[in-house]
Amino acid sequence: MARGVRKSSLEKLQKELADVQELIQQHKNSITELIEKEKEIQEKISLEQFKEVSSILDQQKMSITDLKEFLISRTK
């Protein structure tokens, strides 16, 4: 039973290099996706924080302007 032509060292290295390059590209794609997801989560966190502040302002019957003035007066 013939097994075919044996690959040379050069061919093996070229195949290994191609495999490694493919893995690198896959990881780059994964990192890009994770960075995008990170940004989305950070935006959602900011929105939730704003909602909390807005709710507190409503409870205290304050406006954004009132809060701004209050914060400015505290730093003086």
37 with 27: CB under 8 angstroms? Answer: no
Is the model's pLDDT at 76 over the cut of 80? no
Strands (E), 1-76: none
> What's the pLDDT at 65?
94
Range 28-41 average pLDDT: 98
Q: What is the pLDDT of residues 36-64, one digit of tens each?
A: 999 999 999 999 999 999 999 999 999 99
Give the C-alpha separation, 13 to 34, whole Å: 31
Is the model's pLDDT at 1 over the cut of 60? no
Using the structure block, give the residue that is written with the tokens 């690959």: 7
Give the C-alpha separation, 11 to 23, whole Å: 18
Is the model's pLDDT at 2 over the cut of 70? no
